Amino acid sequence: MNLKDILSPFSVWKRAVKKPWTIKEPINDRPGAENYRGFHKNDFDKCIGCGSCEEICQNNAIDLVPVEGQETKDGDSGLRPKIDYGRCCWCALCVDVCPTGSLTMSNEYTWVTDDPEEYRFIPGADETKWQEEKKGYKRSEDIQLINYDRAEMLEFEPKDRDKSFIEIIKGYNKEQAMAEADRCLECGICTATCPAHMDIPAYIAAIRDDDIENAFRILYETNPLPEICGRICTHNCETACALQNQGEPLAIRWLKRYIADQISPERYKEVLGTEHLADPILNKKVAIIGAGPAGLSAAYYLAILGYKIKIFEALPDAGGMTRYGIPEYRLPYDKIEEDIDYIKALGVEIQFNTKIGKDVSLDELHNDYDAVFAGTGLHLGRSTKIPGVDNKRVYFATDLLREVSLGNEIDVAETIIVIGGGNVAMDITRTLARLQNQKYGKVQIITTSLESEDIMPADREEVVGAREEKAIINPGWGPKEIEIKNGKIKGLHVVKCTSVFDNEGRFNPKFDQNQKKFFAGEMVVESIGQGMDLSYLSEDIKSSLKLGPRGRVQVNENFQSDLKWLFVGGDIIQGPDVIHGIANGHVAAKAIDDYISKNM
């Protein structure tokens, strides 16, 4: 044993003259390791208040609380985690599960205070000295508690689908659906964003439990058109999904379709418990104008409530825009029928080929029925009004799509130009591409829009799909003039569109007149938006209504107009899309029930 070994224990004596470590003088010269699991940090810009941290915490140490300045909005509950350090064991499961990556840990590990209540704090809101600390624990890439990749969806390859109207998406099988449902965190943030406020986490949980009948019942609570919505819903819910922050959002729409596809139509009544729904139990009648999503939804919920319902439809089949606007390759007609047949089976009568204002007047409906719901949709095309649009080979997309659905033949040109960048433009592009393929064996169609690629309103998969089917999508151009020679269209002159919206977000396109282009083609289709046909409102009725900008009928939050018996909803009020129509119909049904009950 040497001298050092004997003396070294005495070195601790040097502390004898130092002040002890106390609240006022804590140990502060021993930083935690680089990846130390110290006190929590939360990046409020990223956090969406989904509560996954609270859910996974094995010590029940986390509460979700409102925080001043954090707004509750689409995709963000406005709640933030508050951690009780009396319970936290620094296991970091909350950091590992966080779907936004907002929650991390610093390497700070000393915190001295004489007030135990301070140890319950909201990282990110309560000021802490470690909020800006860069070091500390973060989820490493190889730890994945969440599966960020979607279960694969099978679809027909372009070569197998581009000549026919066969449904492209094949749908999930049980295994795929279970795998996809398993990704759901059940935070429920999507429910607020869905216009119908569907209980999405509940029906996905039912898929996971393989209780499809229960899932189906949950769908019908807020949406009586699940086959339709499961295919072509605009799925706003998916843009709010917590998973989309670091990966692919849950395929909510495809899961809805999976549920609806599992129950065969003849079992609907049995599963939904409407087998014994006899004739309408109330001696009250409601007329509905238009068998589109809004009208069908109102009809369904009113039928459940015991009303006698009659729908007046101008066209020969039900479904509205879902039938006459959306092509069959996205939504097969027999699937629309499944939804509608069930509503009819509840006693709802639909009178086809009957136009209100022409065959029957609105006044007659008012006299014969206790209330009227109008969901007449946007079936008129809107024009760019550029020189040349009065040529007979210039069409509206809505008209052509309707003709195709009616089974009428279209005089398809060999070269076509479509103007528009929304889903309807993609629908007509891909429809015409198929017809060109059938007629000419090749596709020569150019679709152009004001909006550049990054701000095109169409769903991404629609743009990709159209290109796969050999249509040319060339966005970012403003139409200037259709060139016509001897009455025949030669093509479309366009100029570069530099911006579509001004700083206040208003539609106010700017062009660079020096950048020109010419698209050759013999036929032009305009698809820049739809208008409504309110010709069924007589002058007398119109004068009793409040009309807003663009002639829109003003309604209260229950979709009731100034004429108390007249309710209006769907695309002519909100949207345009299917799910707003369904939501409107549901709310209006309740309001109509209240209105009629009051007058009984």
Partner 1 sequence: MKKIINRIKEKIEIVSLKQRDDLYFINVKEEHIIFLLSYLKEQEGFTHLAFLQAVDYDKYNMFQLTYMLYNYDIKVNFGIKVIIDREKSEMTSIHKLWAHAWQYQRELHELFGINFPGSPRVDESFVLEGWEEIPPMRRDFDTKEYSEKTFYQRPGRSTNDPKEYMKEKLYKNFVEPPKIRREDD
* Residue numbers at the binding site for partner 1 (CB under 8 A): 49-51, 54, 57-60, 62-66, 72-73, 77-79, 84, 86-87, 120, 187-189, 191-192, 197, 201, 220-222, 273-274, 277, 281-282, 301, 304-306, 557, 586-587, 589-590, 593
Helices vs. strands in the chain: H and E counts, helices first: 21, 20
Q: Which is nearer to partner 1, 117 or 454 (CB)?
A: 117
Helix or strand or coil: residue 10? helix
The nearest distance, CB 307 to partner 1, in angstroms, is: 9
Q: What angle do the packed helices 200-208 and 252-262 form, to 10 degrees?
A: 60
The nearest distance, CB 281 to partner 1, in angstroms, is: 5
- Fill in the amino acid letter for 580: H
Return d(Cα 132, Cα 319) in angstroms, integer: 56
Which helix (H) or strand (E) segment is 468 a member of? helix 460-468
Q: Which is nearer to partner 1, 199 or 313 (CB)?
A: 199
The nearest distance, CB 283 to partner 1, in angstroms, is: 12
DSSP-derived secondary structure letter, 76: B
The nearest distance, CB 404 to partner 1, in angstroms, is: 36
- Fill in the amino acid letter for 229: C
Which helix (H) or strand (E) segment is 480 a member of? strand 477-485
Q: How far is the CA of 168 from the CAs of 163, 368, 464, in angstroms?
A: 12, 45, 13
Which residue from 355, 422, 347 is spatially nearest to 382, judged by alpha carbons?
422
Return d(Cα 559, Cα 549) in angstroms, integer: 17
Q: Which is nearer to partner 1, 79 or 432 (CB)?
A: 79
- Cα(first)–Cα(last) distance of the chain, in Å? 106
**274 CB burial (10 A radius; 0-12, 13-18, 19+):** middle
| Max CA pair span of the chain | 115
Q: Which is nearer to partner 1, 93 or 563 (CB)?
A: 93
Which residue from 176, 51, 48 is spatially nearest to 102, judged by alpha carbons?
48
Contact 429, 449 (CB under 8 A): no
Q: Which is nearer to partner 1, 31 or 273 (CB)?
A: 273
The nearest distance, CB 299 to partner 1, in angstroms, is: 13
Return d(Cα 543, Cα 533) in angstroms, integer: 17
The nearest distance, CB 271 to partner 1, in angstroms, is: 13
Q: How far is the CA of 119 from the CAs of 111, 122, 566, in angstroms?
A: 9, 10, 58
The nearest distance, CB 88 to partner 1, in angstroms, is: 11
The nearest distance, CB 596 to partner 1, in angstroms, is: 12
Q: Which is nearer to partner 1, 303 or 386 (CB)?
A: 303
**CA 264, 265, 266, 268 torsion: positive or negative?**
positive
Q: CB atoms < 10 A from the CB of 56, how many?
A: 17
Beta strand spans in 31-172 (E)? 40-42, 62-66, 79-84, 103-105, 120-121
Q: Which is nearer to partner 1, 191 or 499 (CB)?
A: 191
Return d(Cα 191, Cα 75) in angstroms, integer: 9
CA 65 to chain centre: 27
The nearest distance, CB 2 to partner 1, in angstroms, is: 26
Contact 444, 424 (CB under 8 A): no
The nearest distance, CB 57 to partner 1, in angstroms, is: 8
- Fill in the amino acid letter for 212: I
The nearest distance, CB 275 to partner 1, in angstroms, is: 11
The nearest distance, CB 457 to partner 1, in angstroms, is: 24
The nearest distance, CB 224 to partner 1, in angstroms, is: 10
**CA 157, 159, 160, 162 torsion: positive or negative?**
positive
Contact 119, 84 (CB under 8 A): yes
Q: Which is nearer to partner 1, 317 or 593 (CB)?
A: 593
Which helix (H) or strand (E) segment is 399 a member of? helix 397-406
Q: Which is nearer to partner 1, 307 or 536 (CB)?
A: 307
Q: Which is nearer to partner 1, 295 or 381 (CB)?
A: 295
Q: Which is nearer to partner 1, 12 or 278 (CB)?
A: 278
Q: Which is nearer to partner 1, 492 or 588 (CB)?
A: 588
The nearest distance, CB 272 to partner 1, in angstroms, is: 9
Return d(Cα 334, Cα 6) in angstroms, integer: 93
Q: Which is nearer to partner 1, 144 or 191 (CB)?
A: 191
Q: Which is nearer to partner 1, 218 or 443 (CB)?
A: 218
Beta strand spans in 486-537 (E)? 488-501, 507-520, 523-526, 530-531
